[in-house]
């Protein structure tokens, strides 16, 4: 018997999207708002961004401004849902970031802060909201991993560790929650031009521009994995071939990715730029 999908479910469906203030999360909120009966809960740190997004949508949307790594973040999300919405049909765990550094330079601290946001905060939020998802079944969770959660590159080891962890955990959660009517889908984007991952190095060159996708395509994959219960989706789909090749010919893929030509794949990120701005402010403060 086919699994029930969320399409054609109850008249009112509540979807919570983390990282809704920009990029893939914002595009997902906009795309979900075109679905019948959807009400949105938008989560991220930048409240003004969330409010203006909510105002621009034609469906009911509430905002929850919080840092997902805060100790009380899961509890606050549950309180918000219980007070304003009485159910949860779709949880999109999308918020994430990457701070580029080799292990020798970034060390454990870079791994720790990356895991804290990209893995631990997802697990903690899911733990708090799982009873509500079960009570609202058929419901779904979509975890946004990355192609870097299947194939690792130099300078992005901490990021890959967090996204590999998320992919593995998602498979186990899928198997555990199936009997409870909570589907767990996985989305693995490749390069998608966003504020956090501008991919400027790739977009600048005609030779590599074509590998960069759009937040709207990632949003469509999130809907596939959530509302239509697809097990997993690469964005764009051909990135799945790289993951398959890594499984079949690990030695070959490792050698190619260790070569100089692969350096262009380790693009600088919005999180790196934010760190540089912060360091600049501190050194200006010290000089003042």
Positions touching ligand NAP (CB under 6 A) are 19-25, 44-46, 49, 67-69, 94-97, 117, 144, 146, 189, 191-192, 194-197, 270
Is residue 234 among the annotated active site residues? no
Q: Cβ of residue 99: shortest distance to ligand NAP, in angstroms? A: 11
Residue 155 gets the label, from left (phi > 0), alpha (psi -120 to 50) or beta, of left
Q: What is the rounded distance in angstroms from the CA atom of residue 53 to the CA atom of residue 95? A: 16
Helix axes 103-115, 157-177, angle to 10 degrees: 30
| Residue with the two structure tokens 């009485």 | 86
Token duo for residue 68? 């997902």
Considering the complex, what minimum distance in angstroms separates the CB of residue 83 from ligand NAP? 20
Looking at beta carbons only, is 5 or 69 nearer to ligand NAP?
A: 69
Q: How far from each other are the two terminal CA atoms of the chain, in whole angstroms?
A: 69
Neighbouring residues of 131: CB distance < 8 A, sequence distance ≥ 6: none
Q: Which is nearer to ligand NAP, 117 or 129 (CB)?
A: 117
Nearer to ligand NAP, 86 or 278 (CB): 278
User: Which of 44, 1, 3, 54 lies closest to 178 in space, CA to CA?
Assistant: 3
CB of 225 to ligand NAP, least distance (A): 13
Joined together, the tokens standing for residue 216 give 């709207």
- Which is closer to ligand NAP, CB of 88 or CB of 144? 144
Beta carbon nearer to ligand NAP, 23 or 185: 23
Number of neighbouring beta carbons within 10 Å of residue 215: 23
**Residue 171 C-beta: closest distance to ligand NAP, Å:** 17
Q: Which residue in 108, 159, 234, 239 is the catalytic one?
A: 159
Angle between helices 47-56 and 23-32 (to 10 degrees): 30
Residue 165 CB, nearest approach to ligand NAP (Å): 12
Provide the token pair at 109: 């601290």
> Which positions are catalytic?
159
């Amino acid at each position: 018997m086919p699994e029930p999908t969320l399409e054609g479910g109850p008249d009112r469906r509540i979807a919570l999207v983390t990282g809704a203030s920009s990029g893939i999360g914002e595009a997902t909120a906009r795309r979900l708002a075109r679905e019948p009966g959807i009400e949105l809960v938008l989560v991220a740190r930048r409240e003004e961004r969330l409010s203006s997004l909510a105002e621009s949508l034609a469906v009911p949307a509430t905002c929850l401004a919080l840092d997902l790594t805060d100790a009380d973040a899961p509890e606050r999300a549950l309180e918000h849902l219980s007070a304003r919405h009485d159910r949860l049909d779709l949880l999109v765990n999308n918020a994430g970031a990457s701070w580029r550094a080799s292990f020798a330079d970034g060390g454990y601290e870079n791994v720790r802060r990356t895991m804290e946001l990209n893995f631990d905060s997802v697990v903690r939020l899911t733990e708090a909201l799982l009873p509500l998802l079960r009570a609202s079944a058929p419901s779904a969770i979509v975890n946004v991993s990355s192609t870097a959660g299947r194939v690792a590159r130099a300078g992005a080891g901490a990021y890959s560790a967090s996204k590999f962890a998320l992919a593995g955990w998602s498979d186990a959660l899928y198997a555990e929650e199936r009997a409870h009517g909570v589907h767990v889908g996985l989305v693995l984007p490749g390069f998608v031009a966003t504020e956090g991952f501008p991919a400027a190095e790739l977009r600048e060159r005609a030779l590599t521009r074509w590998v960069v996708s759009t937040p709207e395509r990632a949003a469509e994959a999130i809907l596939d994995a959530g509302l239509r219960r697809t097990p997993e989706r690469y964005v764009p789909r051909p990135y799945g071939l790289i993951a398959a090749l890594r499984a079949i010919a690990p030695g070959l893929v490792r050698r190619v990715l260790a070569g100089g030509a692969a350096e262009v794949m380790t693009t600088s990120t919005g999180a790196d730029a934010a760190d540089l701005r912060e360091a600049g402010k501190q050194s200006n403060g010290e000089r003042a």
